[in-house]
Structure formats: structure tokens, C-alpha cells
Amino acid sequence: MPQWSTPERRDHLVELWSKYGNRCLHGHYLCPIRDHYVHVSPMAIETVTDVRLVPCYDANGNRLKDSHGTEIHRKQYTIGIERVYATEHARLYDVKESELVADWIADDREARHYEQAAQRRILHHIPERGALRGTFNAISLDIYFDSQPDYYVEGIGVSGLTQRPFAKVRIPSSFTRLHVDITDAMKGMSKNQRRKAKRYANALPVPVQVEVERACRAAVKDYRSR
């Protein structure tokens, strides 16, 4: 069983099949046209663009020769990237599933990265601002907690269950994480902008940052009031 295959995600794939199963790439149910099942996807492959003969040298910088006195050469290859298109027969469900699984794998990779980074911070140094060394007394304890922010945003992603964007928020001085729905905050962004913001940690536009911060503050306030 692959790591991305959680019970919630498997349930979502079942729902995906009920919606797109046995449909061609044009969305027709039980389509008899074979061309409607041809899926073309771009691929990048490595190709040899140039081959050169390069002389060989020994440790002292002298040209190497064989037993007949002929200089020895080696082949040096130059590798380039060529864009090709792969063709395969697939249903609409197959394409949707592969795209969704790729997003889940990328989200899991980011989640592991954030968790490992958090563990390193905990193991090697105190991560909170204004931390005081030694034993806390009553006054230093108040100063310490007053100096902490209300929350830390560890990252953003897409829920594999609801397919809605969320922010992963950590409560200071604890291991508590909140998953805050930020669908409304990211409505003004294109799909490409949202994908880059999640995968490559691109900065969100200022108006979107303001809305995300507002949603996170409201969620943390609701959590603390319970």
C-alpha cells in the first residue's frame, strides 16, 4: 500500500470513480469512439547532443598512450533535454486520478519537510522567541508567554478529503496544530498561483496574506475559548 493511500483518500477515489468512471476524455459515458481515449502528455527526456574525443592524462599531466604509442582518448558526451509527447489510452478517471495522486504525494512530501524541520528546531534549540534559560519563576514565565505570537503558520496545502486549501497553524509552546480552512481567502488567486504558493513556498499576494491571517487569528481565538 503506498504511503499516500490513506482511508480518506481511498474514499475520495471511490467518489471520483462514481463521477468519472467509464467516461472518455471528452466526458462521454461508454463512448464508442477510440480517439476520445487518446491522452497526450508532455515529457522531458535526456538526449546526447554532442560527442567529443578528449585526451587522457596521467597523474603528472602527461598524455597517456597505448602499447603501440597511440594516444588514448575518451568520449565526452554532452547531454541535452528534449521535449517529447507521450501518447496513451486512458479514461477520464485515469487522468483525474493520476493528477490527484501527484498532488497528494507532493503535499505529503511538504508535510514531511515541515515536520522534520520542526523536529530539528526542537532537538537543537529552543524555537520560541524570548525564551529564558534555566528555571522559570512566576515573573519570567509571564514575560515568556507574553512575548510569544498567537500562532505560527507552518505551511499551506490542500486537504485530501475535502479538496479545500488550508493553513497548518501551530499554537506556541505546544505541539497542537490547527488546520484552518482558507478557501475564501484564496478565491482571488488563479489555480497556477495557488499551486506555486503551496509547492514552492511563493509569497502570497498582500490582500490574500491579510485574509489568511484573519482566518488563522479567528481559528486560534475559537480554539483558546473552548
Residues 6+ apart with CB under 8 A from 155: 110, 111, 114, 167, 168, 198, 201
Q: Is the pLDDT assigned to residue 193 strictly greater than 80?
A: no
Band (196; pLDDT cuts 50, 70, 90):
low
Bridge-partner residues for 63, per DSSP? Answer: 57
Q: Is the pLDDT assigned to residue 25 strictly greater than 70?
A: yes
DSSP strand pairing (152-158 vs 165-170): antiparallel
> What is the per-residue pLDDT for 92?
93
Domain positions in the chain: 34-89, 149-224
Minimum mean pLDDT range among 17-31, 32-46, 154-168, 194-208: 194-208
Whole-Å CA distances, 91 to 16, 24, 39:
12, 5, 8
Q: Is the pLDDT assigned to residue 152 strictly greater than 60?
A: yes
pLDDT tens track for 54-63: 999 988 888 9
pLDDT tens track for 31-46: 999 999 999 888 888 8
pLDDT tens track for 100-147: 898 888 888 888 887 777 777 766 655 444 444 555 555 555 555 566
- Going by C-alpha positions, the residue among 10, 37, 12, 9 that lies closest to residue 22 is 37
| Arithmetic mean of pLDDT over the chain | 81
